[in-house]
Amino acid sequence: MSEPSVEILYEQVRALVPAQPAGPPAELVSVAPGIRVLALRTPTLPPAAHTNVYLVGPDAGPVAVIDPGSPYPEEQAILDQVLARVPPSAILLTHHHGDHVGGAAALAQRWSVPIAAHPATARRLAGRVQVTQSVADGETVSGATAIFTPGHAEGHLCFAIGDATIAGDMVAGIGTILIDPSEGDMAVYLSSLERLLARPPMTLLPAHGPAIRDGHAKLREYLAHRRMRESMVAAALGATPRTLREMVVEAYRDTPRALWPLAERSLLAHLVKLGREQRATDRGDGRWSA
C-alpha cells in the first residue's frame, strides 16, 4: 500500500485540529529594515492558518516577493493592492510546498516577473509552477542572500537580509515543522539547523507566526526538542518488531492524538536516521526493531 502524501495528511489533520480564526484582512507590517510581511490565509498545517509573504526592498519598491503561498483569489487581491504601491521585481521561493507557492504562478503572470528558487525546488514544481531563475547557496538575489538549508524539503532555502533571516519552514512561530521521509530527511534537517546556528545572531522570520527575535535561542530549542524526540523513538524500539502505529503511542505520548497521523511520518523520519546509524532495523514489512 502506498504511503499517504503530505497533502492528504494535511487534509486529515485539518479535519481534526482547529486552525486559528481567520481574523481581519491582512495588513502590511514592517518586521526588519527593508522587510515587510503580509500574512495571507493558506491551506497550511493547523494550528497555523496563514503563510507569511515577505516583501524585501525599499518602501517605494521594487521588492522581491518571498513565498506568495495563497491560492485564494481574495487573498491574492490583498497582495495585489499592496504591490500596486510597491511593484515587484521578482518572486523568491523557500521551497516547493503548496502553502508557499500557491499564488506564485498567478503573481508572476500578472506582474511579468521571474520566479527564482533552488534547482531541486524547480524539479519538484515542474508542471505546476515554472521557475525561471535558479538560486544557489550563497547567491544574492534582489538583496536577499540564499542559505541552502535542506531537510524539511530537499531544495529549501533561507534568505538573509542584514541581521534578519527569512526562515521558510526551518522553524515556526506557531505550529510545528513536519519532516516527512517521502521528501525530507531528519539528519539533513538537523544539520541545517546547526548551520543556521553557526551564523551570527539573527532575527528569524518564519513562514508561520511572528518574528523570532532571538533566533539562536529558537534554533537551540529546536535541536534540543528533536534530540529529545529521537531518544523517545529509540526507547520505543525493542527486540520485538513494532509498527509505526504501535510506537507512536509511546514515542509521541505527549502529542495530541489528532496529530498522530503526522507524528507517524516524523517517527519514520527518525527511524530512517537511526537505521543509517545502525541503531534501528527496518524489517521490511512496516515494522521496526532495535
pLDDT digits (tens, 9 = 90+) for 168-198: 999 999 878 999 999 999 999 999 999 999 9
**Pairing outcome for strands 203-206 and 164-168:** parallel
Q: 281 and 290 in contact (C-beta within 8 Å)?
A: yes
Residue 127 CA to residue 186 CA, distance in Å, equals: 27
Inter-axis angle of helices 260-276 and 186-197, nearest 10: 90
Please check the confidence at residue 10 and state whether its pLDDT lies above 60.
no
Note the pLDDT of residue 2: 40
Note the pLDDT of residue 119: 98
Q: State the average pLDDT over residues 94-98.
A: 96
Note the pLDDT of residue 258: 81
Nearest-CA neighbor of 247 among 183, 204, 290?
A: 290
Note the pLDDT of residue 172: 95
Please check the confidence at residue 260 and state whether its pLDDT lies above 60.
yes
Confidence of residue 21 (pLDDT cuts 50, 70, 90): low
Q: State the average pLDDT over residues 5-14.
A: 54
Please check the confidence at residue 20 and state whether its pLDDT lies above 90.
no
User: Residue 192: how many CB atoms within 10 A of its CB?
Assistant: 21
Nearest-CA neighbor of 180 among 268, 271, 63?
A: 268
160 within some domain:
yes
Q: State the average pLDDT over residues 119-142.
A: 97
Number of domains in the chain: 1
Least confident of 1-15, 92-106, 261-275: 1-15
175 within some domain:
yes
232 within some domain:
no
Please check the confidence at residue 5 and state whether its pLDDT lies above 60.
no
249 within some domain:
no
Q: Would you call the peptide bond into 62 cis, given omega within 30 degrees of 0 as the criterion?
A: yes
Angle (CA) 96 254 42, round 5°? 30
255 within some domain:
no
Note the pLDDT of residue 157: 98
| CA distance to 58, 62, 81, 99, 221, per residue, from 88 (Å) | 11, 5, 12, 20, 35
Please check the confidence at residue 248 and state whether its pLDDT lies above 50.
yes
The catalytic residues are: 99
251 within some domain:
no
257 within some domain:
no
Three cell numbers written together for 269: 523520519
Confidence of residue 104 (pLDDT cuts 50, 70, 90): very high
How many residues comprise the chain?
Answer: 290
**This prediction's pTM:** 0.91
Note the pLDDT of residue 9: 55
Note the pLDDT of residue 1: 33
Confidence of residue 262 (pLDDT cuts 50, 70, 90): confident
| CATH classification at residue 166 | 3.60.15.10
| CA distance to 64, 82, 100, 162, per residue, from 59 (Å) | 12, 11, 23, 16
Three cell numbers written together for 226: 528533536
Q: 191 and 198 in contact (C-beta within 8 Å)?
A: no
Can you give the residue range of the structural domain that contains 26? 6-214
Three cell numbers written together for 3: 504511503
- Mean model confidence pLDDT for the chain: 92
| 218 vs 43, higher pLDDT | 218
Q: State the average pLDDT over residues 214-228.
A: 97
Confidence of residue 34 (pLDDT cuts 50, 70, 90): very high
